[in-house]
Structures are given as C-alpha cells and as structure tokens.
C-alpha cells in the first residue's frame, strides 16, 4: 500500500523559511522572531510525530520489515547516466526516529531560548541561526544520497560555527568557533575521501544502491572493492574507515574531540541542541546509516568499537576532574557518544545479534532527551548564578526546586538507574558488549560507574554541598527561571521518565526485522550496581562540603593533574601545529611566498617602473625636442636605407 | 652668364635647409620657428626647380610642385599664426618651451 508522505517536505521547508524571514527581516521585529521560530519548530515537530505515527503504526511492516520510503527525490546533478547527486527524503526507521529527536529537542530549545536569550541584542539573528541549524540537521537525517548528506553535514558545521561564535566579542568564543570548524573540516576531508572511494567502487551515491551493491557477497562490485588492497586493507575497509573519521570528527571521538569542550562557549541552549542532542550524534547516525556495509567488514567495525570505547572511558575520566559545569556535560556527551559508537561496533547484523545497533539507536534517542535536559537545566542554573564554575554554586535546591527535580531525574537517567530511560538503553548496550567482547564490556561498565560518579558530583555541587550564598546582584532576581524556560525542562523530564518503556527493538533493528529484547536480569543488575557505586561515592565525597575531594586529588597527584588538564591533548595539538607545522611547513611556505612568489611580482613591477622612469624624459613637452628626435630618427632610417 | 652646375645649386639648397633645421631646433620663439620652416620649404623648392631644369628640361612637373608648395606654405602660415595667437592667449607668451603641459 503506497502512502503519501509528501507533507514531510514541510518539516524541512518550515525551518528554512523561518531562517530566511528572521535572517532577512528579523531586525524589524526582534521579539516576534522568537515566537515565529518556536511556532515553526512546533509545527515541524507535530508533522514529524504524525509521520512517525503513520510510518510505524498506520502503514507498519511490509513483509516483516519497515520499508524505506522515498518520499521525494529530485536529480540535482547528473554526472553520467548511472551516477547522479540527488536531493530527496528517505524515511526508514532510523531517519524517522531522528526526525522526532531533532524536531523535539529543537522545539524545546527554541521555546527555552525565548526566556534565556531575552533582551539579547542579536536575538533575531540567534533564532535565524537556530532555524538554519534545524533545517540542515533535518536535511542530513533524511538524506537519500550520501552526497546530499555530506552537503547538509557541512551546513550543520557552518551553523554550529555561527552559534558557537555567537558572542563574537569574546575572544575565547571566536577561538572556540574556529577550532570547532577547523577540526571538523579536517575530519570531513576523510569523509569526502571515503565517499569518493565508496562511490568509485559502487558506482553510485545513492544509499540504498550502495548498501545493496556492497552487501552482495558474490556481486562483482563487492568483490572488486574487497579485493583491491592498499597497505594491507581492502579499498572497502579504507573507505569505511575514512567515512568513520568524518563521523568521529562530528561526534567528538578521540582524538578529534578537542573542539567539543571549547564549543561550550556558545549560548547554553545551543549546547543543548547542537553539542548534546543532535549534531554530535550525526557521526553515530552516519555509521548506522551505512551499518549494513560496516557489518560486512569486521575490521572497520572493530575500529568503530575501539575508538568508541576508548573515547567513552577517556572522556569519563576527564569529566570527573572538570569544574566548569558545561565542560563536565561536554565530556559526558563525548563519553555517551563513545557508548553509542562501541555499541555499533559490537553489533552483528541478523536478528538479536543486532542488539548493539538497536541499543545504540535507543541510547541516541534517550540520551538526546536527558542530555538536552541536563544542558537546559545547567542553563537555568547559569542564568541564575551568572557563572559556569561549580565553586560559585551550591545549595541551590531551595532556590530552584523545579530545576533541582528535573536535574536529578536526568542525572539518575544518565547513571542508569531504573526505571528511567537511560537504564534501558545502557543495559542493552552493556548486554551487547557482554555478548561480543569482554574487554569492551568491562570498559563500558567502568565508564558507567564513572558516569554516575561525575554526574552526581555535578548535581551535588550545584544543588547541595554548600549552603546557598546570596549574591549581591541578586535583587532583581526571581528564584526560578521564567515559564518558557521551565516548560521545556518539565516536558523533557517527563520524556526521560517514560521513553525507556518504548520497545525499541520492535521498531529499529539492524536487519529491519523485529526481535524481542527481554531484560537481562544479571547484566542489568551489574550495570545498576556499577551506577549505584558511583552515586554513593559521589554522595560520600560531595554530599557536604568537606576536604575529602581535595585530599583525594592530592593523593592522586600526577594522574589527577593530567586528567584535569585533559591529558594534555590540547597541548599536544598546539605543539604539533605551532612547533612542527608552523616551523617546518608554514615558515618555509611563507618564505617562498614572500621571497619567490612576491619577488617575481616585485621584479616585474620594478623593471617596468625603472624602464618607464628612464624613458619618460622623451616626453618633455617641448616641441624642439620632439623635432630633434624625429629628425635623428629620420636620419637613422635614411642611413639604414642607404647602407643596407 | 657663367655655367652653374647642379651640384652648386644643391649645395645652396642643402645649406638653406640645414639653416632652417638649425633655426627650428634652437629658437624658442614660435615666429622664428615658423620662419625656419619657410626656409626649409624654400630649400625644397629650389631642389624641385633645379632638378626639373637640369634633368628633365622638357617637362614642367617640378615647377608645378613648387607652385603647390608655395600655396600650401601660405595656407600653413595662416594656420600656424592662428595657433600661435591661441597659444599666446593661453600662456601670455609665444615661447614654445612654455607650452610643455603635455610632458610625461
């Protein structure tokens, strides 16, 4: 039964139109642009919910799987009769899920920003950037064509750049925006190379065609791609690894994670939308989109798994030592995305082997909700305290009871406490890891423990720890944030409470067939135990103000210091760029530019100038001189004619 | 009347021509320069007449050319003097070196 999904184009079109209106005419009606943006996102969200309902419930399965529907497709650039770049909308379980996630979080952030950004000078500009981002992200998730995805991939990079650098009068924000853009651009170079290799062998840019050709074991295309070898790995492995580099850059996987903590310079709602819930999971989405191909190539999948697992634990360790609350959340995001990545890495393809895939998507879904909630809650706290530092907070629970409650819910969810959403997805991930690779399982378990620890360290430092300190500038201040800021918090908290009960494996699975993923009591118990250990430890250390954390950090000495300094990765990058690239590549290049390239130009201009300087005396303006010269010329010509 | 050879006449016209050239190059007064130009033209006239007389005694082409040149020289003198008057109005001088505004 064919279904009409043509309205889905509106989901993309509405943010685009809002972007154009607020971008072009926003200055004339500042306050209206917030309402316009929010209303636009609300309607986009409603359309996505309706699409999800239609896709999963009304139409449902065809032959046991949810079919991929091409709602709209238009050839954009035709290279050869068989190779073209198309712009289109593809609906399949993961893209429908992403539509829901992106529009929901985006709507919440739009609503929240009405209060948070109130009185901002560039309020309309902010909303136009947010709409641009929403449009790009939606275009990315529904892409039918890997090149379309790449274009929107760059567009989200641009809007992230614009929003991170929103406070462009702050040098640190400008530096952060540049860093985010440059690091992800480097990663995207890998992505582009991967696309080119993949499409060179599969002779198509279309996702469905690529997947179909690259999973056909006996097809000539698959054999050719798998046989061509370069430095010990097949072309297909290389293509997938390069594409994964692109994904790792956007998703802040080690060692391309350095931009994410700095990106917290942007406004907090932006961090919630872009750097927690949507854009940073684009890498996970990319691997999931190409998962049928990845699952053919164990080597590529192993890369995904190890990078993901290492990033998860690496970021979790750093998060335990940071004092800026947004940076803690940034590292936490990186750690949780590492979780999603290694869940994909441990996943198989068929049936319940694909638990990792389902778990990864499930965690993406639940994480988007509770991490957005954490960021928005942190935004409310920052709005109140006017500081990002944990040291300036403490004892806020009486002052901000609602924020306190929703923050606690989100912290419990991310720590994996039942029955909140994070518990279900995390438990599935750990079960998948347990079935596949014990080493990864233990890394995941330890990370879960650390996650609970640093989240509760954060929570307790903000809301408990010290008695509340009255700030001097507090006179005009309200206890809680305005209603537009509270409402999104409450909605997201409600979502965090219930979405864990969605039977995700019925809808999203690697091979498309539903399977039952029952709760594994043993694994679940171990995971919850790890989380509780972390929570108890955090309460012990940070429940009341004391000097125990201080003593422990002194006891840990070098280890604490290096974790606090983020394991010197930034310094390493600086060393590499400033000392090595600057001295050995940039300086000689500058010398060549200055002395050889510029030198040639200067030579030409100098010769011209000197010559003209020399011959300008001919042009004296005196008639007698001209006559003399013409007379001499005539004589010379005469001599020439006579003697030669 | 003693015989005058062609070369003697050519020596006179040669001398007249280069006196004109010299005058044209050294003098700065436009009227003097115009007179120098007249000298050069007349040197040419002498050549035409002399060559006609000595080389083609039965033809009159050289004489016609001479008459042409005399007429044109008269017209040219009128044009030149009008230019000189305009120059004088602009620069309050008929010194050719003053009018050097076209220099590079």
The span from the CA of A284 to the CA of A357, in Å, is 10
The alpha carbon of residue A603 is apart from the nearest alpha carbon of chain B, in Å, by: 23
**Exposure pattern of A526-535 as b/e (b: 16+ CB <10 Å)?**
bbbebbeebb
Name every chain A residue with its beta carbon within 8 A of the beta carbon of B101.
Answer: 621
Q: Out of B25, B96, B103, whose CB is closest to A628? A: B25
pLDDT of residue B41: 93
Find out whether B89 and B99 touch, Cβ atoms under 8 Å: no
Contact with chain B for residue A621, Cβ under 8 A: yes
Q: Which residue has the tokens 């890394």?
A: A443
Name every chain B residue with its beta carbon within 8 A of the beta carbon of A619.
Answer: 102-104
Name every chain A residue with its beta carbon within 8 A of the beta carbon of B100.
Answer: 620-622
Name every chain A residue with its beta carbon within 8 A of the beta carbon of B103.
Answer: 619-622
Say yes or no for a CB contact (<8 Å) between B103 and A621: yes
Residue A626, both tokens: 């001209």
Omega of the bond prior to A419 within 30 degrees of 0, cis? yes
Residue A570, both tokens: 């930034």
**Run of H or E residues at A97:** helix A93-116
Q: How many CB atoms lie within 10 A of CB A33?
A: 24
The alpha carbon of residue B2 is apart from the nearest alpha carbon of chain A, in Å, by: 34
The span from the CA of A150 to the CA of A191, in Å, is 8
The span from the CA of A618 to the CA of A620, in Å, is 6
- Residues in B whose CB is inside 8 Å of some CB of A read 21, 24-26, 28, 33, 96-97, 99-104
pLDDT of residue A477: 52
The alpha carbon of residue A622 is apart from the nearest alpha carbon of chain B, in Å, by: 5
The span from the CA of A271 to the CA of A251, in Å, is 14
Region B77-95 average pLDDT = 91
Of A445, A253, A262, A246, nearest to A337 by C-alpha is A253
Contact with chain B for residue A619, Cβ under 8 A: yes
Q: Which of A391-395, B2-6, B39-43 has the lowest mean pLDDT?
A: A391-395
The span from the CA of A223 to the CA of B100, in Å, is 85
Name every chain B residue with its beta carbon within 8 A of the beta carbon of A622.
Answer: 96-97, 100, 103
Region A125-148 average pLDDT = 91
Full 3-state SS string of A11-77 = HHHHHHHHHHHHHHHHHHHHHHHHHHHHHHHHHHHHHHHHHHHHHHHHHCCECCECCCEEEEEEEEE
Name every chain B residue with its beta carbon within 8 A of the beta carbon of A617.
Answer: 104
In degrees and rounded to multiples of 5, residue A480 shows phi and psi of -100, 170
The span from the CA of A388 to the CA of A334, in Å, is 19
Q: Out of A619, A624, A631, whose CB is closest to B103? A: A619
Contact with chain B for residue A629, Cβ under 8 A: no
Say yes or no for a CB contact (<8 Å) between B104 and A624: no
Pick A210 or B42 by higher pLDDT. B42
Q: Is A206 helix (H, G, I), strand (E, B) or coil?
A: strand
pLDDT of residue A560: 74
Name every chain A residue with its beta carbon within 8 A of the beta carbon of B25.
Answer: 624, 627-628, 631
Q: Flag whether pLDDT at A498 surpasses 50.
A: yes
Say yes or no for a CB contact (<8 Å) between B104 and A618: yes
Name every chain B residue with its beta carbon within 8 A of the beta carbon of A632.
Answer: none
Question: Within 13 Å and on the Cβ side, how many CA atoms surround B92?
Answer: 0
Find out whether A366 and A413 touch, Cβ atoms under 8 Å: yes
Question: Within 13 Å and on the Cβ side, how many CA atoms surround A633?
Answer: 6
The span from the CA of A305 to the CA of A309, in Å, is 6
The alpha carbon of residue B24 is apart from the nearest alpha carbon of chain A, in Å, by: 7
Find out whether A105 and A368 touch, Cβ atoms under 8 Å: yes
Q: Mean pLDDT, chain A, as a whole number?
A: 85
Name every chain A residue with its beta carbon within 8 A of the beta carbon of B24.
Answer: 624, 627
Between chain A and chain B, the number of residue pairs with CB atoms below 8 A apart is: 33
Residue A285, both tokens: 């989405």
Q: Out of A617, A620, A627, whose CB is closest to B25? A: A627
Pick A550 or A162 by higher pLDDT. A162
Q: Out of B33, B102, B104, whose CB is closest to A616? A: B104
The span from the CA of A147 to the CA of A143, in Å, is 8
The alpha carbon of residue B66 is apart from the nearest alpha carbon of chain A, in Å, by: 23
pLDDT tens-digit readout, A153-209: 999 999 999 999 898 888 889 999 998 998 899 899 999 999 998 888 888 888 888
Region A517-541 average pLDDT = 83
Region A467-483 average pLDDT = 60
Question: Which sign, positive or negative, has the C-alpha torsion A128, A132, A137, A143?
Answer: positive
Find out whether A369 and A499 touch, Cβ atoms under 8 Å: yes
The alpha carbon of residue B83 is apart from the nearest alpha carbon of chain A, in Å, by: 14
Q: Flag whether pLDDT at A549 surpasses 60.
A: yes
Tell me the β-bridge partners of A454. Answer: none
**Exposure pattern of B43-65 as b/e (b: 16+ CB <10 Å)?**
bbbbbbbbbbeeeeeeeeebeeb
Contact with chain B for residue A628, Cβ under 8 A: yes
Q: Out of B28, B33, B102, whose CB is closest to A621? A: B102
CA-based nearest residue in chain A for residue B97: A622
Contact with chain B for residue A591, Cβ under 8 A: no
CA-based nearest residue in chain A for residue B103: A621
Q: pLDDT class for A293, splitting at 50, 70, 90?
A: confident
Is the complex ipTM higher than 0.95?
no
Q: Which residue has the tokens 């070898």?
A: A229
Q: Flag whether pLDDT at B56 surpasses 60.
A: yes
pLDDT of residue A627: 85
Q: How many CB atoms lie within 10 A of CB A423?
A: 23
Q: How far is CA A485 from CA A409, A455, A488, A522, B52, in A?
A: 17, 22, 6, 40, 115
Say yes or no for a CB contact (<8 Å) between A631 and B25: yes
pLDDT tens-digit readout, A337-383: 998 998 998 888 777 778 888 889 999 999 999 999 999 999 888 88
**Run of H or E residues at A91:** strand A84-91
pLDDT of residue B72: 93
Say yes or no for a CB contact (<8 Å) between B100 and A628: no
pLDDT of residue A531: 86
In this structure, the strands spanning A69-78 and A84-91 are antiparallel
pLDDT of residue A235: 83
The alpha carbon of residue B22 is apart from the nearest alpha carbon of chain A, in Å, by: 10
pLDDT tens-digit readout, A295-339: 888 888 888 999 999 999 999 988 888 888 888 999 999 999 998
Name every chain B residue with its beta carbon within 8 A of the beta carbon of A620.
Answer: 100, 103-104
pLDDT of residue A475: 44
The span from the CA of A40 to the CA of A170, in Å, is 31
Say yes or no for a CB contact (<8 Å) between A624 and B28: yes
Q: pLDDT class for A1, splitting at 50, 70, 90?
A: very low
In degrees and rounded to multiples of 5, residue B70 shows phi and psi of -65, -40
pLDDT of residue A473: 52
Region B70-86 average pLDDT = 93
Say yes or no for a CB contact (<8 Å) between B97 and A624: yes
The alpha carbon of residue A640 is apart from the nearest alpha carbon of chain B, in Å, by: 21
Q: Which residue has the tokens 């995001």?
A: A333
Q: Flag whether pLDDT at B1 surpasses 60.
A: no
The span from the CA of A176 to the CA of A326, in Å, is 14
pLDDT tens-digit readout, A391-445: 778 778 778 888 888 989 999 998 888 888 888 888 888 888 888 888 888 888 8
pLDDT of residue B96: 84
pLDDT-above-90 percentage for chain A? 23
Of A105, A157, A163, nearest to A130 by C-alpha is A163
**Run of H or E residues at A78:** strand A69-78
Say yes or no for a CB contact (<8 Å) between A624 and B96: yes
Name every chain A residue with its beta carbon within 8 A of the beta carbon of B99.
Answer: 621, 623
**Run of H or E residues at B30:** helix B30-55
The span from the CA of A417 to the CA of A243, in Å, is 35
Q: Flag whether pLDDT at A135 surpasses 50.
A: yes
Q: Mean pLDDT, chain B, as a whole number?
A: 90
The span from the CA of A454 to the CA of A451, in Å, is 5
Residues near A102 by beta carbon (within 8 Å), at least 6 away in sequence: A48, A134, A137, A138, A141, A277, A278
Say yes or no for a CB contact (<8 Å) between A622 and B101: no
Q: Out of B26, B96, B101, whose CB is closest to A623? A: B96
The alpha carbon of residue A576 is apart from the nearest alpha carbon of chain B, in Å, by: 56
Find out whether A356 and A337 touch, Cβ atoms under 8 Å: no
Name every chain A residue with its beta carbon within 8 A of the beta carbon of B28.
Answer: 624
The span from the CA of A415 to the CA of A246, in Å, is 29
pLDDT tens-digit readout, A13-71: 999 999 998 888 877 877 788 889 999 999 999 999 998 888 888 887 777 788 888 88
Q: pLDDT class for A3, splitting at 50, 70, 90?
A: low
* Furthest CA-CA distance within chain B: 57
Q: Flag whether pLDDT at A472 surpasses 70.
A: no
Give the number of residues written for chain B. 104
Region A451-470 average pLDDT = 82
Q: Is A4 helix (H, G, I), strand (E, B) or coil?
A: coil
The alpha carbon of residue A619 is apart from the nearest alpha carbon of chain B, in Å, by: 5
Contact with chain B for residue A218, Cβ under 8 A: no
């Amino acid at each position: 039964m064919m279904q009409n999904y043509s309205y889905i184009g509106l989901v993309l079109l509405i943010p685009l139109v809002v972007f154009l209106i607020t971008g072009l005419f926003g200055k004339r009606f500042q306050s209206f642009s917030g309402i316009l943006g929010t209303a636009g996102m609300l309607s986009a969200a409603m359309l996505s919910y309706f699409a999800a309902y239609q896709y999963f419930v009304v139409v449902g399965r065809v032959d046991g799987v949810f079919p991929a529907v091409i709602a709209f497709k238009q050839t954009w650039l035709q290279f050869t009769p068989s190779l073209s770049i198309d712009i289109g909308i593809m609906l399949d379980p993961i893209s429908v899920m992403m539509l829901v996630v992106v529009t929901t979080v985006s709507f919440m952030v739009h609503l929240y920003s009405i209060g948070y950004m109130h009185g901002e000078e560039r309020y309309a500009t902010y909303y136009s950037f947010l709409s641009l981002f929403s449009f790009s992200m939606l275009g990315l998730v529904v892409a039918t064509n890997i090149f379309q995805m790449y274009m929107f991939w760059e567009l989200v990079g641009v809007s992230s750049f614009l929003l991170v650098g929103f406070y462009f009068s702050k040098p640190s924000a400008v530096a952060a925006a540049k860093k985010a853009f440059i690091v992800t651009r480097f990663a995207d170079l890998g992505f582009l190379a991967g696309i080119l290799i993949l499409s060179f062998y599969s002779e198509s840019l279309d996702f469905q065609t690529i997947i179909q050709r690259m999973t056909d074991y006996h097809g000539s295309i698959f054999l050719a791609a798998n046989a061509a070898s370069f430095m010990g790995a097949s072309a297909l492995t290389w293509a997938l690894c390069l594409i994964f580099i692109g994904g790792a850059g956007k998703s802040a996987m080690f060692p391309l994670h350095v931009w994410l903590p700095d990106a917290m310079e942007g406004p907090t709602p932006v961090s919630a939308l872009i750097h927690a819930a949507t854009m940073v999971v684009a890498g996970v989405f990319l691997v999931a989109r190409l998962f049928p191909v990845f699952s053919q190539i164990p080597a590529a999948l192993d890369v995904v798994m190890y990078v993901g697992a290492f990033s998860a634990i690496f970021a979790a360790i750093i998060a335990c030592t940071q004092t800026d609350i947004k940076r803690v959340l940034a590292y936490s995001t990186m750690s949780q995305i590492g979780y999603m990545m290694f869940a994909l890495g441990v996943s198989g393809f068929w049936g319940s082997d694909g638990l990792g895939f389902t778990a990864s998507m499930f965690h993406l879904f639940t994480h988007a909700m509770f991490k957005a909630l954490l960021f928005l809650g942190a935004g409310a706290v920052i709005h109140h305290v006017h500081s990002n530092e944990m040291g300036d907070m403490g004892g806020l629970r009486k002052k901000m009871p609602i924020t306190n409650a929703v923050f606690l819910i989100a912290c419990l969810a991310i720590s994996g406490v039942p029955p909140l959403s994070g518990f279900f997805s995390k438990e599935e991930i750990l079960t998948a890891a347990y079935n596949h690779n014990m080493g990864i399982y233990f890394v995941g378990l330890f990370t879960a423990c650390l996650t609970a620890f640093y989240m509760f360290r954060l929570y307790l430092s903000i809301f408990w720890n010290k008695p509340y300190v009255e700030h001097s500038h507090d006179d005009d201040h309200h206890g809680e944030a305005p209603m537009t800021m509270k409402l999104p918090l409450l909605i997201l908290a409600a979502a965090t409470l219930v979405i864990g009960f969605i039977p995700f494996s019925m809808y999203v699975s690697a091979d498309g067939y539903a399977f039952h993923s029952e709760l594994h009591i043993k694994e679940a118990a171990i995971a919850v135990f790890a989380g509780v250990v972390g929570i108890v430890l955090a309460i012990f250390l940070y429940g009341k103000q004391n000097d125990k954390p201080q003593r422990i950090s002194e006891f840990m000495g070098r280890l604490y210091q290096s974790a606090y300094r983020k394991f010197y990765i930034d310094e390493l990058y600086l060393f590499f760029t400033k000392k090595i690239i600057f001295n050995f590549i940039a300086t000689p290049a500058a010398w060549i530019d200055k002395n050889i390239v510029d030198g040639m130009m200067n030579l030409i201009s100098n010769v011209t100038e000197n010559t003209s300087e020399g011959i300008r005396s001919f042009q004296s303006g005196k008639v007698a001189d001209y006559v003399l010269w013409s007379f001499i010329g005539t004589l010379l010509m005469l001599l020439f004619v006579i003697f030669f | 009347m003693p015989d005058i050879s062609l070369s003697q006449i050519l020596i006179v016209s040669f001398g007249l021509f280069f006196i004109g050239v010299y005058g044209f190059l050294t003098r700065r007064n436009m009227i003097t320069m115009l007179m120098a130009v007249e000298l050069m033209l007349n040197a040419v006239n002498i050549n035409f007449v002399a060559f006609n007389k000595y080389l083609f005694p039965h033809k009159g082409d050289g004489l016609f050319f001479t008459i042409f040149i005399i007429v044109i020289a008269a017209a040219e003198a009128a044009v030149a003097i009008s230019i000189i008057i305009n120059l004088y109005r602009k620069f309050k001088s008929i010194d050719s070196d003053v009018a050097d505004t076209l220099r590079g």
